[in-house]
Structure 1
């Protein structure tokens, strides 16, 4: 049904990379969510009053809160689709992540509130009131929330939306909560013991765990996390497909939200090649990455000497010394500056983030493993792996 609604109300719905399409799909899901949640609130709140069930009334209030979250998501999709302006030159796509963070916080709040209510029910158990209409209402609620979870989860992957993912998580959390209420409603009269509070604590812990994973993912995205290694390697492979590019280093990816990614990297080229020809090839590589992966790539050209005996001699010495120091260390962008009394060896050294040695200790360690006739100094720039 959701596929029909998307195709009916969203133009060019198959264009999953379009910001307008993503916004329209998110807004549509928001309005569907508002209607479903208000419907569930009304029927559960009424039945909760009729059977004097605090847990069902609380579940109803939770659905009303979900309707508020849906309103937030609609507003978020509106702002995230706004074009770039002078104050926000990279667009407003991160508005979606901020809204996802807010929804996650709401889920955490409801999880703790459910724990509090559950403890109160354990300490002060209420009289069990079983009615078949209660079972019917709870089953309807679970079915509706499972449907909401399924379409939000599906569309979150199709349109790469963290906010729809958060909404899906909220829906499955509601399924767990309502299932807990249902089980306690069925089992409590059978065993003559009110399970409502105990079941509520179990469900609350599951909800809080899901919320933790959501918040962790969203916060990492906002702070800036390491890009996926396969994703980086795909870009590097495109860059190295040009035979005139000898190596790639200092790759940086800036992620401003779905379909809004910028990247930069340094590429090593033969210093003897014509600079205009190399520039032409670099332009072609940047366009290829843009066309294939939708990423705005900027490449910085690093000229290196190729087949220079003295450069190759020192390069091998540095390579052997680094291998003896730590096989996990790597280097790139190697060049030399020669003089009458000493030579400077200039290069970038890539070390793991976990490395505890200082820069001075690293330099002394490398020099201690080098045996050369001339005085040398190391001019090292410390880097870390980009994937």
Structure 2
């Protein structure tokens, strides 16, 4: 159904932001329609059976309809063009809308838990009919379908908001299944477990809200880029023979499809500066066309024609790798004087490295002293990276 509607209402376009907005609004409208219908059906079933669990599940669907409205508005506002107050666009509104959805899910979970505890303390008779069973089974199937298409399009668009909606739909499926099984159990045994099942539903909804909040908070707080994205950047940059190395990559995320990157590219100090600048311009354009991100590249000149410098750098790399394979160096330079030689470079260590910066620096100084002797001084700083 969603695929068919997408073919009808969403036109192919080179503008990925507009495509994203169109998919988000389509899924939002469908989500509102489905959830309102499910609320009406479950509320009717809950009223007929006098079941707090089914009624609670009905109001959970009503909150989902509200969440779909928030998601729809989020995609619409996120597609707004940059302005003087928001020069990098409004893409992060999509993350905010996902967070609002998560907050609504958490609130509904709390309400369901509270009402269910009251039902446990004061149980009431419930009545289970074929109509109630049909409504609940239909609800499970619809929610499974909603989880499927929201997850699929969420992956297609890499949308945290839509993934949050998909997670919520799966939790609804589990919750309604629990309610259905409990209703059948009570009907055949007479044991009143309606309140306990409502409690389970509330806890499942609350967990889904927590998970959705985590998914949407991470990009707002500044999560590292996907490993595959970093690998593609490295592949593009290093495919140019003029580039000797790459480091200090920073990815700035202003919302899905609105990424800006900056990095340092090492180039031969002996090369023609105008020709090298042209190469860097070409790399920036290639990154923009291939990955859809704006790129700013800083050129770092390094000596490549001096055999002694190359040998010393190779030895330094070996010493660093002997400490830990996850370490690397960049911006290596040698400055020779009358009494000693300075080895100048930066050390790149991953976040959460097993040694503190002070411990790592001590090991490096000791290794250099043992290998090169007293006439070599180390001038270095330690960087941390997600690469």
- Using the size of structure 1 for normalisation, the TM-score is 0.91
Q: 1 CA distance for matches of 2:318 and 2:156?
A: 48
Runs (5+) with no aligned partner, structure 1: none
Distance (Å, rounded) in 1 between the aligned partners of 2:206 and 2:284: 44
Match in the other structure for 2:297: 299
What SS class does the counterpart of residue 299 from structure 2 fall into?
Answer: strand
Structure 1 residue 172: Cα displacement = 2.1
Asked if structure 2 preserves the Cα contact closer than 8 Å seen for 1:180 and 1:196, the reply is no
Q: Which deviations, in whole Å up to 9, do the C-alpha atoms of 1:220-254 show, x marking residues without a partner?
A: 11111222223211211111111111111111111
Q: CA deviation at 1:55?
A: 2.5
Q: Which moved more, 1:42-51 or 1:353-362?
A: 353-362
- Going from structure 1 to structure 2, the CA distance change for 1:46 and 1:322 (only over 3 Å counts) comes to closer
How far did 1:280 drift?
A: 0.9
Alignment match of 2:51 (pick from 38, 43, 53) = 53
Q: Tell me if 1:348 matches 2:346.
A: yes
CA contact (8 A) 1:17 1:159 kept: no
Of 191, 194, 205, 2:192 maps to: 194
Q: Which residue does 1:177 correspond to in 2?
A: 175
CA contact (8 A) 1:142 1:179 kept: yes
Contact 2:183 / 2:194 at 8 angstroms: preserved in 1? Answer: yes
Matched, 1:245 2:238: no
Which one of the candidate residues 250, 263, 266 is aligned to 1:265?
Answer: 263
**Following TM superposition, by how much is the alpha carbon of 1:59 offset from its aligned partner in structure 2, in angstroms?**
2.2
Q: Decide whether aligned partners of structure 1 residues 357 and 198 sit closer, same or farther in structure 2, where only a CA change above 3 A counts.
A: same
- Worse-superposed segment, 290-299 or 353-362: 353-362
Match of 1:23 in 2: 21
Report if the CA contact (8 A) 1:16-1:158 is conserved.
no
Aligned-partner Cα distance in 2 for 1:51–1:325: 69
Task: Please report how far the alpha carbon of residue 73 of structure 1 lies from its aligned counterpart in structure 2 after TM superposition.
Answer: 1.5
8 Å CA contact retained: 1:318, 1:366? no
Paired with 2:357 and 2:64, the residues of 1 have a C-alpha distance of 52
In 1, Cα distance between equivalents of 2:148 and 2:357: 52
> Deviation per CA, 1:188-208, whole angstroms, max 9, x where unpaired?
121221222333344444433
Partner of 1:382: 382
Aligned equivalents of 1:160, 1:358: Cα separation in 2: 35
Deviates more, 1:136-145 or 1:76-85: 136-145
Matched residues in 1 for 2:268 and 2:304: separation? Answer: 6
CA change 1:331–1:171 in 2 (3 A) is same
Name which of structure 1's ranges 109-118 and 299-308 shifts more when overlaid on structure 2: 109-118
- What is the SS of the residue equivalent to 1:351? strand
2:222 alignment partner in structure 1: 224
For 1:51 and 1:331, how far apart are their aligned partners in 2?
A: 69
The Cα of 1:26 is off from its aligned counterpart by 1.6
Residues 253-282 of structure 1: per-residue CA shift (max 9 Å, x gap):
112222111111111111111000111111
CA-CA distance at 1:302 after TM superposition: 0.7
TM-score (norm 2): 0.91
Is the Cα–Cα contact under 8 Å of residues 53 and 201 in structure 2 kept in the other structure? no
* 1:307 CA drift (Å): 3.2
Asked if residue 208 in structure 1 is aligned to residue 206 in structure 2, the reply is: yes
Q: Partners of 1:21 and 1:356 in 2: how far apart?
A: 44
Q: 1:348, 1:382 within 8 Å by CA — same for their partners in 2?
A: yes
Paired residues in the alignment total 385
2:238, 2:246 within 8 Å by CA — same for their partners in 1?
yes
Residue range with higher mean Cα deviation, 306-315 or 265-274: 306-315
Q: Find the counterpart in structure 2 of residue 233 from structure 1.
A: 231
The corresponding residue for 1:329 is 327
Residue 75 (structure 2) aligns with: 77
